[in-house]
Chain A
Amino acid sequence: MNNRSFSKHYYLMLLPGMVWLILISIVPMFGIVIAFQDFNPGAGFFRSAWIGLENFDYMFALSDIRSIFFNTVFIAVMKMAAHLVVPLVFALMLNELRLALIKRWIQTIVYLPHFLSWVILAGILLDIFSFSGPVNGLLKALGFEPVLFFANSTLFPFMVVASDVWKEFGFNTIIYLAALTGISPVLYEAAAIDGASRFRRLWHVTLPGITTTIVLLAVLSLGNVLNAGFDQIFNLYNPLVYSTGDIIDTWVYREGLLNLQYGLATAVGLLKSVVSFILIIISYALASRFANYRIF
């Protein structure tokens, strides 16, 4: 093969994508110098004053910071656990259903919320759970006091996790269902001949058959420890729940782009990026070592 002459064309094919990648993704990586500057947009990266680690010192002294890191990890870890377990249970239930047509319909419907934006879903949820909305109407009819679900700082993190599970559980079953179809029917037949009941077959054939998948998904979700879901929280929260609902990403947005604390916001964002990057590398290393996972 005449590889030499092909290479030239290969570079040409890579060019537009590389330009796009460099301008939008790589250039901002150099912009993290803002974290070490008293940044002034008029002066730009090159002429703003260097202040070393002052932004970081200030950051660690802020009382906000501890609570936004705590809120982020708290919500994110609850989501990780819920996103692992709920879709698994749902997939196992769906797998036991013998009516193929209904099964397909159920799948079609539960995947749908994944494709709707948080703007739209937040608009709907805030309405349904509002003070005069249907959920509170039901509570009142049953003789309970109405609850401000999304304006109550104790409830807010749980509402966030529950609504995220509602949106994503269907979509997250896809990988489990794919793994379930990979289990050989011969194993079920053999177990049945040996007298295993449905539950024993579930326990001794189905679950061991998808253990690798469960472990892999658990490991890969590690990288999300600092991702509590900006789009969702940004559209659902309000000042009443900042104490428990404000996360790193929403704080960086408000502090950086609304209050114009560029240096401080960049420093917090940088800390998040670095920690997330390390976590993802660890999770990929674990996944490739124990489950033979490759991204490419």
Chain B
Amino acid sequence: MVKESTIGSKIFDGLLLAILLLITALCLVPLIYTLAVSLSEKSAAAAGRVWLWPVGFNFNSYKQIMGDGAFFRSFLTSVQRVVLGGIISTGIGTLMAYPLSKSPRQFRLRNVFMWFLIFAMLFNGGLIPWYMTMKSLGLMDNIWALVLGGGLPVFHVILIINYFRNLPKEMEEAALVDGAGPWRMLWSVFVPLAVPVLATVLLFTIVYHWNEFFHGLVLMSRQDHYPLQTYIQQLVVIIDAANMTEDQYKRMNELSNQTLNSAKIFIAMIPVLVVYPFLQRFFIHGITLGSVKE
């Protein structure tokens, strides 16, 4: 990059930094606010006196959550969903990506399968037919509804395919000469070489399963089957009351237990914050790989 040191340029640099830092702070402020409210006194939070620092610092909300069975049940449901979903999606996706990374010369029906996948990714039957299908498959009120309900993540499969296709051909040829079959080839040659993309896909799947709330809402008929996001959605969502007035809307905000809800919201964020540093190491590469190729 060209260096420049005129006074105008220096002022510009200072201004630029200030604006960028301000925008960046804007991304963090809501999260800090939530943490501050969760550690504040109830009355202070309700009166709107809490900004970015707790008022009347205490751990009451967190203590209360410790004894909340429903919260923990939902938390465990989400953990179970993330573990099963992460393993199954990434495993099946990798298995599928291998044959589809071959050329049509090596695997004759490759393009037929490929177009089938693309079609399934771009067109969908809509909410009601999906719901009816899930119902008739018995995918309701059990963990498998949550694990499988999103369907095969075709986009992730495509990411893995593209990565496999860009690996050096010499590796494969060498393994072939040494007598490796397709399973051996996938497991001992392709998977170890594709760790960056597999990690990206795994982390994306984990975040997806942790964050997804809608399947929990429509496929679980009982509240004690809800995953954590659905549980929280029930706390913060405005109840669908016909002919609602502005006063009722205000009242609903006032009646909610702000400090407790903020603590629950903050705990629900923690797993994402924990995987985020790992996620960040991989996703930039994964994203640019799948999107813009020049």
Among B114, B129, B238, B284, max chain A CB count under 10 A is at: B129
Interface of A, helix, strand, loop or mixed by DSSP: helix
Indicate if A56 sits at the interface (CB-CB under 8 A). no
Residue on A nearest B125 in the bound complex, by CB: A28
Which among B120, B132, B212, B245 has the highest number of chain A CB atoms within 10 Å?
Answer: B132
Which among B24-32, B59-67, B194-202 touches the partner chain?
B24-32
In contact, B213 and A117 (Cβ under 8 angstroms): yes
Residues of B within 8 A of A24 (CB): 130, 133-134, 148-152
Whether the pair B108, A7 counts as a contact (CB closer than 8 A) is: yes
Chain A 233-291 residues near chain B, CB threshold 8 A: 234-235, 237-240, 249, 252-254, 256-258, 262, 265-266, 269-270, 272-273, 277, 280-281
B57 interface residue per 8 A CB criterion: no
Q: What DSSP secondary structure best describes chain B's contact surface? A: helix
A132 touches B46 (CB 8 A): yes
Chain B, 165-178, contact with A by CB distance < 8 Å: what is the 0/1 string? 00000000000100
User: Which of the 9-residue segments A62-70, A71-79, A106-114 touches chain B?
Assistant: A106-114
- What A residues does B96 contact at CB under 8 A? 13-14, 16-18
Across-interface contacts of A134 in B (CB, < 8 A)? 33, 48, 50-51
Residue of A nearest to B135 (CB): A41
In the complex with contacts A17-B152, A175-B291, A235-B237, A10-B182 CB distance below 8 A: yes
- Collect the chain B residues with CB atoms within 8 Å of residue A182's CB: 294
Contacts of B105 in A (CB 8 A): 3
A252 CB contact (under 8 Å) in B48, B128, B148 = B128
User: How distant is the Cα of A113 from the Cα of B29 in the complex, in angstroms?
Assistant: 11
Top 7 nearest A-B pairs by Cβ distance? A31-B129, A269-B126, A28-B125, A117-B211, A10-B99, A17-B96, A123-B236
Listed in ascending order, the chain A residues whose CB lies under 8 Å from chain B are 1, 3, 6-7, 9-11, 13-14, 16-18, 20-21, 23-32, 34, 41, 44-45, 90, 93-94, 96-99, 102, 105-106, 108-113, 115-117, 119-128, 130-134, 136-137, 148, 151, 166, 170, 174-175, 178-179, 182, 185, 188-189, 191-192, 198, 201, 212-213, 216, 230-231, 234-235, 237-240, 249, 252-254, 256-258, 262, 265-266, 269-270, 272-273, 277, 280-281, 292-296
Binding site for A on B (CB under 8 A): 1-2, 4, 9, 12-13, 16-17, 19-21, 23-24, 26-28, 30-31, 33-34, 37, 46-48, 50-51, 92-93, 95-96, 98-100, 102, 105-108, 113-114, 117-118, 120, 122-137, 148-152, 154, 157-158, 161-162, 176, 181-183, 186, 207, 210-214, 218, 229-230, 232-233, 235-238, 240-246, 249-250, 253-254, 258, 261-262, 265, 268-269, 272, 276, 279-280, 284, 287-288, 291-294
